[in-house]
Amino acid sequence: MSGDAQRGSAGAVPTWEEVARDHSRFMYSVAYRLAGNQSDAEDVVQEALLRVKRGLVTYTPGSLQGWLARIVTNVFLDETRRRKRRPQTALPDDPDRVIAGGPAADEDLAMRSLPDHIQTALNELTDEFRTAVVLCDVAGLSYDEIAAHAGVPVGTVRSRVHRGRSRLRELLT
């Protein structure tokens, strides 16, 4: 299983103070790689930490960072869905179907203020591929863990991780 080295101590239920003190930077890393800009990443971490503090998420002993990464990912995907939801009966305005187009003005500013060619490439991936790659490479989750989280077969995860990385390879070279 990959990523053991990145995981936190297993076993005891983490306290809120532990999570905030020791793991919020890790959560930020995952959130930033998913969200693609500082402002959204901070919002995602804040909501994820709030869920932890309020006990809205149940800790499963074994992989603290894996658990936190999944919470961050859930918040990110929820936010993405919330923003995409539109009162519409037709699909042409669906943002997913817009092929080209630069980042919104505020995202553009955030990206300029934090130049990062890895992030620029990651932002080009669809949510499915970016989430798979980030959970694998940034959060250190195994394919099994990612599959359980996404509710897809392990083979799908393997394909997404590979296709995501292959696309990044094209973008970064």
Length of the chain: 173
Answer yes or no whether residue 38 interacts with another protein by CB under 8 A: yes
In the chain, the amino acid numbered 81 is R
Would you say 108 or 170 has its CB closer to another protein? 170
Answer yes or no whether residue 24 interacts with another protein by CB under 8 A: yes
Judge whether 133 and 161 are in contact, CB under 8 Å: yes
Judge whether 7 and 63 are in contact, CB under 8 Å: yes
Smallest gap from residue 169 Cβ to another protein (A): 5
Q: Dihedral (C-alpha) 170, 69, 35, 164: value to the nearest 10 degrees?
A: 20
**The binder of another protein chosen from 22, 109, 120, 159 (CB under 8 A):** 159
Tell me which residue of 158, 150, 153, 144 sits closest to 62, measured CA to CA: 144
Answer yes or no whether residue 12 interacts with another protein by CB under 8 A: no
Answer yes or no whether residue 161 interacts with another protein by CB under 8 A: yes
What's the rounded Cα separation, in Å, for the pair 16 and 61? 15
In the complex, the residues that contact another protein under the rule CB under 8 A are 1-2, 20, 24-25, 28-29, 32-33, 38, 41-42, 45-46, 49-51, 53-60, 67, 70-71, 74, 77-78, 80-82, 84-89, 91, 94, 96, 116, 118-119, 127, 133-134, 136-138, 142-143, 148-149, 151-152, 158-159, 161-163, 165-166, 168-169, 172-173
